[in-house]
Amino acid sequence: MASKNIGLASWRKQPIAITILRLWLGGTWVYGGWAKATDSAFLSNSGANSFSGQLTGYIGHSPISFILKHMLEHSTLFAWFVMLSEFAIGIAVLTGVAMELAIFGGFSVSIILWLSVTFHVHPYFLGSDLAFAASWLALFFMWRAHSRSGSRARSTVLGGLIPDLRDRREAMGIISVGVGAVIAALAGGSLRPKQKVNATIVKLADFPSGSTMPFTAKDGSPAILFRTKAGVFAYSAICTHQGCTVAYDAGAHAIACPCHGARFDASTGSVLVGPAPIPLPKISVAISGANIVQI
């Protein structure tokens, strides 16, 4: 059966429509994983361009906010999972390994991205996620029909979707895809732009205890720095509701959003007044010699 073909053999005698979709979808997913692997901000714990920062921006308008909130608690772990999944799906589609499962994975990712990122894009065709989901779905049924052509075996919903791990070739192919995804992620990581370990924000002598000031974080996003008797701490100045820039209200000892009235505790970053759904992300800062630095 054609479904057992792996590598170059999986590209032979397939309809041109399948060839186009495999190249486009598989290549795009590998590129997506590579873009994340080489992005120095994506795996960071904080920042507007980090995975946690992106989740924070989505939570305010996504219909699956309740899921994204839990992901935010372990954002770095999920960032690695997303990156490796994109590599694995793309590699599997291009090599023909566990094709139906890989295609279903690509479809699922597209639907999740639609619900997270582009659900409120109007008109709907301006967002790419639904278009990708439709392309994955079309490839799924085309590949299923192609792989069963000439076979009398009855097609079932799960037949072919769940890999047969008793097949040594199939099992080795899946292992190879996993290893390839990890190698690609590590290779991309080795090419990330080098960043300074610490970034000076202000001289300690110019920022006495009780001071507050806005500053620009290393990733270019706005932030707020505080110094108290207990030490220094900072938060992202991007409101977790819809991304407006917040400011410190000294009279109320709170961080306020000018757009929709959300207020945050200046000591903890937690939400005092909605509609912000989650606290302001913390930014790591410390006293280093004569300076206060972001670490």
Helix (H, G, I), strand (E, B) or coil at 256: strand
- Asked whether the predicted pLDDT for residue 196 surpasses 80, the reply is no
- CATH number, domain of 213, equals 2.102.10.10
Helix (H, G, I), strand (E, B) or coil at 86: helix
Averaged pLDDT for residues 57-81: 84
Tokens read off for 186: 């590590």
Nearest to 112 by CA among 156, 81, 73: 81
pLDDT, tens digit, 9 for 90 and up, residues 144-175: 998 887 554 444 445 568 887 888 888 999 99
Enclosing domain of residue 73: 2-190
Instruction: Kindly state whether residues 162 and 46 are assigned to the same domain.
Output: yes
pLDDT, tens digit, 9 for 90 and up, residues 204-229: 999 999 999 999 888 778 899 999 98
Please state the separation of Cα 147 from the chain's center in Å: 33
Give how far Cα 252 sits from Cα of 10, 214, 264, 266, 280, Å.
66, 17, 10, 9, 17
Nearest to 162 by CA among 219, 94, 113, 100: 100
14 with 146: CB under 8 angstroms? yes
Question: Residue 22 — very low, low, confident or very high, per pLDDT cuts 50/70/90?
Answer: very high
Nearest to 159 by CA among 134, 172, 140: 140
Instruction: Kindly state whether residues 180 and 234 are assigned to the same domain.
Output: no
Angle between helices 99-113 and 16-37 (to 10 degrees): 60
pLDDT, tens digit, 9 for 90 and up, residues 124-136: 888 899 999 999 9
Tokens read off for 294: 């972001």
Count of domains forming the chain? 2
Instruction: Kindly state whether residues 234 and 124 are assigned to the same domain.
Output: no
* Adjacent-strand bridge partners of 249: 254
Instruction: Kindly state whether residues 181 and 213 are assigned to the same domain.
Output: no
Instruction: Kindly state whether residues 250 and 146 are assigned to the same domain.
Output: no
